[in-house]
Structure 1
Amino acid sequence: MTDFERATAALRGELLAHSYRMLGSWHEAEDAVQETYLRGWRAWESFEERSSVRTWLHRIATNVCLNALRDRGRRALPSGISAPTTIDGPAEVLPPHTWLEPFPGDRADLRLALIAAMQTLPPAQRAVLLLREVLAFPAAEVAEMMGMSVAAVKSSLQRARARLADVDVEPDDVVEPSSPQARRLLDAYVTAFETANVGVLTTALCADATLELLPNRAWFAGMAECSRVFAGAVGQPGDWRMDRLVVNGQPAVAVHLHGQPFGVAVLDVRRDGIAGVTVFGDAALVARLGAH
């Protein structure tokens, strides 16, 4: 192992999470971390240790992410770009780069709602907020990392906080995916599909539940409308098979339809029921997330 590898190996997970928060895409975050390490390795001999290795690598990673964001729009969930519709409404499939991507693991600070909210911030504000409040770098270090004054960092942080003030990204009634309540509600979701018994799921939904079916732009709000969509999807007993996962710190399932990979469903579970279901209809995610 080289000196560079010894000094930087332990930072990979933190850099990946930071890049994911910046980009909203798991695969783009992995690419950003790879590029960060490549740039760091090339510059290692000239690293003067005027800052910590952690600060230095996060500066590189942040710049890699900001460069990537210059070439594309923000990623979102359907609820972030349009009003809810009904099952009879028009269907529109948008390209993959439109959408937020799920991320493996049980980190509560990577919940889908939080990542989606982050994407609404301008990239520079997003970076400042993450560097200051998530990674806890001092304002002076963030200023140097971002090429800004300390006053500009503080102003940018204040604007970012104000933009997120009305977004309920950390509700008090969220339950951990390992809790008995979360397991019970996830079991209801699995049972409903595997046995074609939508009633089991309907009774587990909150009154204001939402359902998002990526890559479709349409999304649904309210227990009644979500239940209508689920009723049309469950099919026959045995059509669906689901393997339990934890994704973005939330209970989730890898979904198979007629024996073939279909995608991943991530549940927003509260004390009083399932508040939301986000289905990522990408068969490749089954293998990628299942491997974690």
Structure 2
Amino acid sequence: MTEATPLGADEAAFIAAALSGDQARFALVTERHRRDLQLHCYRMLANYEDAQDLTQETFLRAWRRRESFRGHAALRTWLFRIATNACLDFLDKRHDRAPLPAEAPEVLYLQPYPDRALPEDPQESVVARETIELAFVVAVQHLPPRQRAVFILRDVLGWPASKVAGALELTVASVTSALQRARVTVRERLPGRRLDWRSPATHELSDGERAAVKSYIDAHERNDLAGLSSLLRDDLRFAMLPERGTGTTTAEDAVNGWVSGGLFRPGHDDWRGIATTVNRMPAAALYLRAPGEPEHRLFAVAVLRVVDGRIAELTGFAAGGTPWPGLPPAL
């Protein structure tokens, strides 16, 4: 008779909490997995608020199914399986989250992910930059939901095909086929970029990235349109969400568009900025004080991809009137 594998401390504590029927005790045991699960849900959904909601749904489902856990798999694996299927159920019900057509450049429901909410595990933080950058998250949204789940579980989390098949109730052959198709789509969406998202990468910003953010903020605070234009690459890729209309543009056209939209009026617009990071990327929180207003109010968060000291991609998120994690609403 084969001796049963001893339970790990995490699994034993979970089973004890489940048997006790004490929901508060159960919550204490599962809470340590919140950040990992939330980041997983974000990769599936590309929306920070939805990721928070689906993480909570994962815990509720785990509580309801607590008696089914026997410790045959790691608790983390069991919770990730529940989270993945909760996200798939959510996507099935949300018609606005259908896979994007190949020509669709923007994800209107995209939200940035605050770095303060990333997992504290250093290894997960290292992996996070490659697989949480906005371009990567957007690329994944072009996959059908189940294919997306296969791709994330296999290529991001590194699960074996048999484990993914069990989690999604698929055959190993189906998992292999879905992964091959998913890799093709994601690589097509990331031309000329870091195509091996599984390779190690530092999560620290470079000196060039920090300098670009500082210069970007300085140009706003001086209403320096020429200085702002000089920071932008000619093949800039720009988006301002949740508005439609994004893609490759010239630095001049981008700046002219901002001016025609009523921004950068010397003597009228008064800007302040805070350097920050989201999605392990450099970002600038921009605050605007209109004439007669006593405070600079949060206006937008600009997430930047910097190449050779200049801004190659700029994704702006309208932030006025909405709470923003980790940022004051006014200065």
Q: Could you report, residue by residue, the CA deviation over 1:136-167 in whole angstroms, capped at 9, with x for unpaired residues?
A: 11111110100101111111111111112222
Distance 1:176 1:143, change over 3 A: closer
- Output the amino acid matched with 2:63: W
Could you tell me which of 223, 232, 257 is aligned with 1:196?
223
- Output the amino acid matched with 2:278: V
Higher RCO (CA 8 Å, separation ≥ 6 residues): 1
- The alignment status of 1:264 with 2:301, answered yes or no, reads yes
- Output the amino acid matched with 1:27: E
1:245, 1:251 within 8 Å by CA — same for their partners in 2? yes
Distance 1:24 1:186, change over 3 A: same
Q: Which residue of 2 aligns with 1:244?
A: 275
Q: Give 1:79-90 correspondences, 5 Å limit.
A: 81=104
- Output the amino acid matched with 2:227: V
Deviates most, 225-234 or 68-77: 68-77
Q: Which residue of 1 aligns with 2:137?
A: 115
Q: Which residue of 1 aligns with 2:256?
A: 228
Q: Which residue of 2 aligns with 1:102?
A: 112
1:255, 1:286 within 8 Å by CA — same for their partners in 2? no
Aligned-residue Cα RMSD (Å) equals: 2.7
Equivalenced residues, count: 276
1:7, 1:53 within 8 Å by CA — same for their partners in 2? no
User: CA–CA distance in 2 between the matches of 1:168 and 1:158?
Assistant: 16
Distance 1:216 1:186, change over 3 A: same
User: CA–CA distance in 1 between the matches of 2:104 and 2:322?
Assistant: 23
User: CA–CA distance in 2 between the matches of 1:130 and 1:6?
Assistant: 27
- Output the amino acid matched with 2:104: I
Q: Which residue of 1 aligns with 2:324?
A: 287
User: CA–CA distance in 2 between the matches of 1:59 and 1:151?
Assistant: 19
Distance 1:277 1:98, change over 3 A: closer
1:129, 1:157 within 8 Å by CA — same for their partners in 2? yes
User: CA–CA distance in 2 between the matches of 1:24 and 1:285?
Assistant: 18
Could you tell me which of 127, 130, 137 is aligned with 2:159?
137
Q: Could you report, residue by residue, the CA deviation over 1:17-48 in whole angstroms, capped at 9, with x for unpaired residues?
A: 11001011100000000010111122223311
User: CA–CA distance in 2 between the matches of 1:185 and 1:272?
Assistant: 6
1:35, 1:64 within 8 Å by CA — same for their partners in 2? yes
2:114, 2:326 within 8 Å by CA — same for their partners in 1? yes
Q: Which residue of 2 aligns with 1:65?
A: 87
- Output the amino acid matched with 2:317: F
Q: Which residue of 2 aligns with 1:150?
A: 172
Distance 1:140 1:82, change over 3 A: closer
2:154, 2:160 within 8 Å by CA — same for their partners in 1? yes
Unaligned segments of structure 2, at least 5 residues: 1-12, 18-25, 119-127, 195-200, 290-295
User: CA–CA distance in 1 between the matches of 2:188 and 2:105?
Assistant: 18
TM superposition score normalised by structure 1: 0.85
1:263, 1:286 within 8 Å by CA — same for their partners in 2? no
Q: Could you report, residue by residue, the CA deviation over 1:179-233 in whole angstroms, capped at 9, with x for unpaired residues?
A: 2101111112101111100111211111201221122212351222123224442
Distance 1:69 1:117, change over 3 A: same
- Output the amino acid matched with 1:100: L
Distance 1:7 1:135, change over 3 A: farther
User: CA–CA distance in 2 between the matches of 1:266 and 1:156?
Assistant: 31
Distance 1:133 1:32, change over 3 A: same
**Residue 6 of structure 1, CA deviation:** 5.3
**Residue 12 of structure 1, CA deviation:** 1.5
Greater Rg by CA = 2
User: CA–CA distance in 1 between the matches of 2:35 and 2:77?
Assistant: 15
1:117, 1:169 within 8 Å by CA — same for their partners in 2? no
1:214, 1:279 within 8 Å by CA — same for their partners in 2? yes
User: CA–CA distance in 1 between the matches of 2:44 and 2:326?
Assistant: 20
User: CA–CA distance in 1 between the matches of 2:215 and 2:98?
Assistant: 30
TM superposition score normalised by structure 2: 0.76
